[in-house]
């Protein structure tokens, strides 16, 4: 669930993949051949996290339906020892993971329709929780404006067309002008919106730097300058 959500963060919010590394028992090999025993090796969790060298500035999000998976609990313990904050997401109250987490999120989905099949209700609830968290994160970082993903990375035709539409919608111009503005900003949406509103690329960069990357105050500052 965490991997599925993280893979979308770069395209949706422009968050570099290196900022959201994902660890899972068994590593890449387990994506096509999931072995049930790999999650029982706590030492692998400790070692995998150590390679990322977390600090007090990091948040480590640990997800386990039972809250008792040795691999996941070991990562949480190692993260705490490194000074990082730990968010634990589990479907079992008072589990080991939730007990040691700084932020404990209980998804009380109850018994599965097929006993023990946590890929059903538990996993679905985890996906929803992670979607909510990452979306709120994108909003707080200033990557959403009026319901538009204004920090998307337009790396394919579909996203390039979406970028042009949202620049046109926010800047109040036609798509031709939006495409021109995107061309002048190397496809970066936020500065393209300001350019489409009449700013130079340098001015757009200055306004966004002053606003901490948030588009609304940058647009307001641009309007104030014009008046």
Instruction: Enumerate the active-site residues.
Output: 8, 39
- The rounded distance, in Å, linking the Cα atoms of 159 and 10 is 12
DSSP bridge partners of 88: 62, 104
The DSSP-derived string for 191-223 is HHHHHHTT--HHHHHHHHHHTTT-HHHHHHHHH
Q: Output the six-digit token pair for 64.
A: 């386990």
- The rounded distance, in Å, linking the Cα atoms of 98 and 93 is 7
Contact of 122 with 91, CB cutoff 8 Å? yes
CA distances from 105 to 75, 99, 134, 185 (A): 17, 10, 15, 41
Q: Output the six-digit token pair for 58.
A: 């990091």
Which region, left, alpha or beta, applies to residue 198 given φ > 0 means left and ψ of -120 to 50 means alpha?
left
Q: Considering only CA atoms, which of 32, 2, 15 is closest in space to residue 153?
A: 15
């Amino acid at each position: 669930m965490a991997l599925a959500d993280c893979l979308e963060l770069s395209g949706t919010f422009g968050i570099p993949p290196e900022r959201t590394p994902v660890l899972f028992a068994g590593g890449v090999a387990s994506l096509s051949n999931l072995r049930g025993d790999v999650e029982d090796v706590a030492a692998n969790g400790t070692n995998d996290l150590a390679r990322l060298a977390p600090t007090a500035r990091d948040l480590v999000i640990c997800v386990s339906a039972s809250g008792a998976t040795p691999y996941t609990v070991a990562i949480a313990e190692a993260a705490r020892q490194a000074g990082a904050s730990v968010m634990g997401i589990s479907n079992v109250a008072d589990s080991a993971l939730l007990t040691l987490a700084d932020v404990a999120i209980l998804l009380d989905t109850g018994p599965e329709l097929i006993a023990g099949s946590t890929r059903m209700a538990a996993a679905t609830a985890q996906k929803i929780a992670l979607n909510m968290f990452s979306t709120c994160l994108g909003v707080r970082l200033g990557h959403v404006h009026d319901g538009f993903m204004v920090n998307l990375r337009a790396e394919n035709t579909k996203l390039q067309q979406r970028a042009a539409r949202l620049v046109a919608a926010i800047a109040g111009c036609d798509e031709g002008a939006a495409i021109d503005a995107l061309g002048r900003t190397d496809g970066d949406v936020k500065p393209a919106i300001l350019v489409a509103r009449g700013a130079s690329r340098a001015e757009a960069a200055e306004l966004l730097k002053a606003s901490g990357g948030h588009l609304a105050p940058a647009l307001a500052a641009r309007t104030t300058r014009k008046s």
